[in-house]
Amino acid sequence: MSDLSQIIKAYDVRGTVPDQFNETVARAIGTAFVEMLRESGAEPDQIVIGHDMRESGPGLVAAFARGVNAAGAAVINIGLASTDQLYYASGSLNLPGAMFTASHNPAQYNGIKLCRPGARPVGQDSGLVIVRQRAQKLLADLNAEADGPDRVEQRDVLADYAAHLRSLVDLSGIRPLKVIVDAGNGMGGYTVPAVLGDQVLPALPLTIEPLFFELDGSFPNHEANPLDPKNLVDLQNAVREQGADIGLAFDGDADRCFVIDEKGDPVSPSAITALVAARELAKFPGSTIIHNLITSAAVPEIIIENGGKPVRSRVGHSFIKAEMAATNAVFGGEHSAHYYFRDFWFADTGMLAAMHVLAAFGGQPLPLSEFAAEYERYAASGEINSTVADATARIAAVRAAFPDAAVDDLDGLTFQVGDGSWFNLRASNTEPLLRLNVEAADPDRMAKLRDEVLAIVRG
């Protein structure tokens, strides 16, 4: 019997197939999900389900659907989908949802992202612990295998998803742009032609040059994880060689989007957060914008300059979404290139963020490197991971080395060191790692501070 505590974590289900996560486990989770929703006061008649391009997806979905049916609920199966396409279905249909994906993880993994009606997340503080406990009990009960009536409806929502996104950002009037998109053999290869191309809607002033659009969950070209710089190299080279205006890289389930300028250099997710925040504040003056504590100091500065109210949050989608709902924030952004929108049910969507970037960039004449410079005010290290035997001791050593710094503990420890420089050090929830992010006014100061902290962390 599988130990579900190994695969059901703080935000989602994720494990290797079939040893940790298989059809028996998926069926139990399907039943447990419906039972959890009922226990919380809902009466779920239907669950909407989608899956990414991983080979194990259809079998896991079918098993999960049997579990949902056994619990007395019906299934709407939207088939192949990006995660934000599943969120669209959950939001527009006002149904609970289950997205089968392992995001950017390697090919042997699969998982589930669960949500309540309206794409509201299910995490460890909002029902996922109950799902794990119920599913574990079902796996232990040999008499819990009876199937209910087969109630599964197949429904294609790709065109409706594309039309909804097009209704939120008008790209019809921008200048012509040559855009290279690296889908990493993930779901961007399925959704980009529908949203940014002319597959289902009228053509836009965009010439889309595809890289690795073939759906292939074995990731034959590179991992679909744009957060790792080595996975951006193909896109960077293509942008430079083909003279493109902009490059876009999506992760495996296409809920995150990274941006490359015409020189092949990355535009930081903090700059994208600030840019999109300015656009949303132009539409909704005075609104609240959420940013996590790892984003650049430029983000709250630009939000205030544009008349908005910045609110600082812990890292992680469940915290961002909860803070957005509590404050009715119009937008939220993270350093990891997750972007959240009030007009998309407070859910994250890399595609909508990309459309905002294309609209802003295409509405003015400068090359992207010059246009983005307005939002890139400081030098940042990016996230640096260090394997440590005793994270608590290493954090204490860093704190002792900076006795004059102002420190807060919203998420790990954030040190303000007196000259506008800051760094955050936080422990991984799942691995023996410390994660370091550093920012300073210039690259030399950033490098000096980064190396000083790393020397202590790594002993």
> What is the rounded CA–CA span in Å between residue 349 and residue 87?
9
Collect all residues with Cβ–Cβ distance below 8 Å to 32 and sequence separation of at least 6: 67, 130, 131, 132, 133, 134, 135, 138
The contacts of residue 276 (CB under 8 Å, 6+ apart) are 331, 333, 339, 353, 356, 357
Bond before 18 cis per omega within 30 degrees: yes
Q: Which of 2, 56, 103, 381 is catalytic?
A: 103
Alpha-helix residue ranges (DSSP H) falling in 211-313: 233-242, 269-283, 298-305
Q: Is 287 part of the annotated catalytic residue set?
A: no
CB 74 within 8 A of CB 46: yes
* CA nearest neighbour of 208 among 238, 253, 185, 230: 238
Distance CA 65, CA 173 (A): 43
122: left (phi over 0), alpha (psi -120 to 50) or beta: beta
DSSP notation for 197-233 = SSSSS---SEEEEEES-S--TT-SSS-S-TTSGGGGH
Handedness of CA 206, 207, 212, 213 (dihedral sign): positive
Q: Are 2 and 140 contacting, i.e. CB atoms less than 8 angstroms apart?
A: no
Look at the block and give the residue holding tokens 């709250």: 300
Count of residues for the chain? Answer: 459
Q: Which H or E run includes 249? A: strand 246-250
Rounded Cα–Cα distance for residues 291 and 398 (Å): 25
For residue 244, list its beta bridge partners: none
CA distances from 263 to 108, 181, 246, 267 (A): 35, 15, 9, 11
Classify 348 as helix, strand or coil. Answer: strand
Q: 350, 341 in Cβ contact below 8 A?
A: no
Strands (E), 293-417: 309-313, 331-333, 339-341, 347-348, 379-380, 384-387, 406-408, 413-416
Inter-axis angle of helices 158-168 and 188-195, nearest 10: 60
Annotated catalytic residues are 103
